[in-house]
Amino acid sequence: MVLGLQGLRASSVCQAEALSLVCLYAHGLCSSSGVYIQPTVGQCEELRDSLCRNEWESALSFGIALPNCNQFPVNQATCAQPDNMTVDILTSPEEMNEEGT
């Protein structure tokens, strides 16, 4: 058991899965196949109802705000890939100053 917030104890499995969910929620990422990987309703529900069930219930009893699983998407989205994407590369500090003005 790992000591968590405000004296809550989280199993190592729960802690790892919860951290993964939080990272994906905060940052997301695009796979090489163009899928935007982010937490889904199903992953949140699995965490709440199975992997971290005891920890989830304990956190609620301490008044800790937890995510509403229904606010997560049902499926993974597709990464945005604009057709006419251009990237300007600045090569000197002078160019950076010119761009900022």
Give the β-pairing of 77-78 and 29-30: unpaired
Residue from 10, 74, 14 nearest 49 by CA? 14
> What's the pLDDT score for residue 84?
44
> What's the pLDDT score for residue 52?
93
Give the β-pairing of 77-78 and 35-37: antiparallel
Q: Are 40 and 73 in contact (CB under 8 A)?
A: yes
Tens-place pLDDT, residues 44-93: 999 999 999 999 998 888 888 888 899 888 887 767 654 444 444 444 44
